Structure 1
Amino acid sequence: MTENQTSGPLRHLPILIILVVAAVGAFTLRDYLSFDALRDNREELIAFRDSHFVLTMAAFVAAYVVIVAFSLPGALVATLTGGFLFGTVAGSFLSVIGATIGATVIFLAARSGLGAYFSARMDSSKGAVRTIRQGIDENQWSMLFFIRLVPVVPFFLANLIPAFLSVPLHRFVISTFLGIIPGSLVYSSVGAGLGEVFARGEAPDLGVIFEPHILLPLLGLCALSLMPVIVKSVTGRTGL
């Protein structure tokens, strides 16, 4: 067997491992990476943080990387935990670091395997598919920030789509890091207030991101990210 024949199947191995672990984790880890688990173990977590602060931060980032890289359930709970343990700003920063690293792992795994296949197919396509590909290529920064800022785009898909479109690594990393900051700050602030929520025996309002005073600014950022696309489209049609 030649080197090229061997590298073909092996190239898909990283993304296949991620998909298998994600499928297994969806059924086996759901109860361990949940709000109930955070509530039941909050005192132990606080005690460990107070005794080993730096180690707790490192362990939190590492856990977040694993959760995102393998698309395990619990990313939202992890963000809440970051806010609960480290406060809004520090918790959000650590969550963004972990999420960006984990997302980059998925991006590289997908790009090395399925991404190369889909990219080649889109390059050889004609008609609408080719037009869409060219439009995205011409406005990569805007589209990357848009899919990060829109609350309804699943994080896993937001990692795969750029890989299928041959987005450069540095653009993916920068847009991911900056694009997830607003949402991370919102949920970290919710996590920072979990002490009072636990004291009342209630559950946090995870739909807070859809409240008008939060959703409208996020939609404003989405519109701002698409402004270059809109301007380019208008000037192109009018010949300006």
Structure 2
Amino acid sequence: MDDPQQNPHSAKRTGRILRILPLAIFVLALAAIFASGLHRSFSFETFMRYQAWLQDHVAAHRLTMLGLFAVIYAAAVTLSLPVSALLTTVGGYLFGWAVGGLTASVAATLGATGLFLVARTSLGGPLLESAGVRIQALAAGFRTQAFFYLLSLRLIPAVPFWLTNLAAAFFGMPARTFVLATQLGILPVSLAFAFAGSGLDEALSRHEKLLAECQAADRSDCAVDFDPRSLLTPEFLIALAILGFLALVPAALKYRRKRSAGED
């Protein structure tokens, strides 16, 4: 029979293990991907190599391939692999800009939520509990205007996606607010990259020609150097930045009203 006095210690130890378990799984999965070299498969050159194969399978098994695309996308975002722009562009090319963009935005939200929950469960609580007064105040301020802050960050692609996920977790942002702001903020960006991907044929033809010319010259440094972000126009990026700024306006007005009330 268990000693009743040992039960609290056992429960505490079990709780600690359960809290660390998501982080352990995350680290092991990330280590396995890099050890196997799978991360190198997420490249534009790999996509070009299997382009025809992917198109054939999408034509024959569209829903299955769409589901597989969503799973791979969500897993990549959860593991913070820097391939979101490439996957969204490929999704727009294979499934059309509307379906590809919407699927990418949902998968990105699921992946971001996965990382958010891992960070908050395993790291967020203990870090905030041991943080100083100023960090606690910053966390409280982020919670007050969390939705508008996160929405503006999602609308600006230059901000690292994984960093925003971790910051929201560390500062104690409610999960429901995180999911809503992420989905609303990432949708226009996803549709933009997917729309760019739907017209990828010209870029593919150009890079295939350059690669063939390089290989014909017997060069050993032949590679495809392509960034999906190059498909987005400066005008569109400026528009996204303006949207991000406008998302902060309600928070700024609310802060100004509170400050004016305090002075009165």
| TM-score by shorter chain over 0.5 | yes
Question: Relative to structure 1, is the Cα distance of residues 200 and 212 closer, same or farther in structure 2, using a 3 angstrom cutoff?
Answer: closer
Give the Cα separation in 1 of the matches to 2:111 and 2:255: 34
Aligned to 2:213: none
Give yes or no for the alignment of 1:206 onto 2:229.
yes
Q: 2:140–2:171: 8 Å Cα contact kept in structure 1?
A: no
Aligned to 1:235: 257
**Counterpart of 2:54 in 1: which secondary structure?**
helix
Aligned to 2:143: 137
How many residues are matched? 236
Aligned to 1:221: 243
Give yes or no for the alignment of 1:6 onto 2:14.
yes
Question: Relative to structure 1, is the Cα distance of residues 181 and 93 closer, same or farther in structure 2, using a 3 angstrom cutoff?
Answer: same
Give the Cα separation in 2 of the matches to 1:190 and 1:176: 21
TM-aligned CA deviation for residue 85 of structure 1: 0.4
TM-aligned CA deviation for residue 187 of structure 1: 1.2
Counterpart code for 2:182: T
Give RMSD over aligned pairs: 2.0
TM-aligned CA deviation for residue 88 of structure 1: 1.1
Gaps of 5+ in 1: none
Aligned to 1:93: 102
Aligned to 1:185: 191
Gaps of 5+ in 2: 1-8, 209-225
Counterpart code for 2:10: T
CA deviations over 1:97-119 (Å, ceiling 9, x no partner): 11111111111111111011123
Give TM-score scaled by structure 1 length: 0.89
Aligned to 1:159: 165
Equivalent in 44, 47, 52 of residue 35 of structure 1:
44
In terms of Rg, which structure is larger? 2
TM-aligned CA deviation for residue 69 of structure 1: 1.5
TM-aligned CA deviation for residue 26 of structure 1: 4.6
CA deviations over 1:172-205 (Å, ceiling 9, x no partner): 1111111111221221112111122212336465
**Counterpart of 1:145 in 2: which secondary structure?**
helix
**Counterpart of 1:201 in 2: which secondary structure?**
helix
Aligned to 1:103: 112
Of 3-12 and 35-44, the range deviating more from structure 2: 3-12
